[in-house]
Amino acid sequence: MSLKQSYFRYRISFTKLGSTRFIGHLDLQSLFQRAIKRAKLPVAYSEGFNPHQLLSFAAPLPLGMGGFEEMLEIFLIYEVNVKEIVTLLQDQLPDGIDIVGVVEVPAIGRSAAAIIQKATYRITFSHNFDIRLEKIISDILTSESIKVEKKGKKGMSVVDIRPDIFEIVVDEDNSLRAILACGSERNLKANILAHHILGLSEIAQNDCDITYERLSIGQDVPKL
């Protein structure tokens, strides 16, 4: 820990789109480690027998879900201009992963992963709703509690997801944006909300494909 004080911490936001949506979280970490290495950024390593790069990711994205503003933090052993970080790193990233922002933050302090509390999702249904989506959403937002069945380690249980819904905005007949709890303390998976909405509609669950995208995860990093 002591060494970290002398390092420089950067928070980087990036997209995870196209084919990179199918790269799992651990693989994404290795992908960035190698990219950072190729970019010759002066990345800091942990001490110990198997040193590894000091980098951390916030809130893993489910496999297949597109991300427009994902986040990671890296520690460098000397200060590098944020624009230079973008240039060096972007060249080394595969199609689908684009850096959208970089900001330097104090080396000491909680990690992005620990700070994150909410995320914005776009949920798109393949079917238009027979009754208006807006009606369903306003019902959800005005109710005090929403009980859904959740599969947990100890079998099915009923949980209240209402406290984990901060905001829902209907964009089109079949598409909405939702700000949901995201992080280590509270977390609501977008598909739980989507299936609940579908349950309140007259569309058969099996008929409707649902696409999820994560538009951002809380901590704003200034855009490039």
Chain positions contacting another protein, by CB under 8 A: 18-20, 22-24, 26-27, 30-31, 33-38, 45, 50-51, 63-64, 92, 94-96, 209, 211
Nearer to another protein, 159 or 208 (CB): 208
In the complex, minimum distance from the CB of residue 174 to another protein, in angstroms, rounded to a whole number: 17
In the complex, minimum distance from the CB of residue 118 to another protein, in angstroms, rounded to a whole number: 25
Nearer to another protein, 45 or 224 (CB): 45
In the complex, minimum distance from the CB of residue 92 to another protein, in angstroms, rounded to a whole number: 7
In the complex, minimum distance from the CB of residue 114 to another protein, in angstroms, rounded to a whole number: 26
In the complex, minimum distance from the CB of residue 44 to another protein, in angstroms, rounded to a whole number: 11
In the complex, minimum distance from the CB of residue 18 to another protein, in angstroms, rounded to a whole number: 7
Nearer to another protein, 86 or 210 (CB): 210
Residue that is written with structure tokens 């999820």 in the block: 212
Consecutive H or E run containing 30? helix 25-38
CB of 120 within 8 A of CB of 179?
yes
CA atoms within 13 A on the CB side of 154: 2
Helix (H, G, I), strand (E, B) or coil at 172: strand
3-state helix, strand, coil in the chain (%, to 5): 30, 35, 40
Nearer to another protein, 19 or 142 (CB): 19
Q: What is the Cα–Cα distance from 114 to 59, expressed in whole angstroms? A: 9
Nearer to another protein, 96 or 183 (CB): 96
Nearer to another protein, 22 or 109 (CB): 22
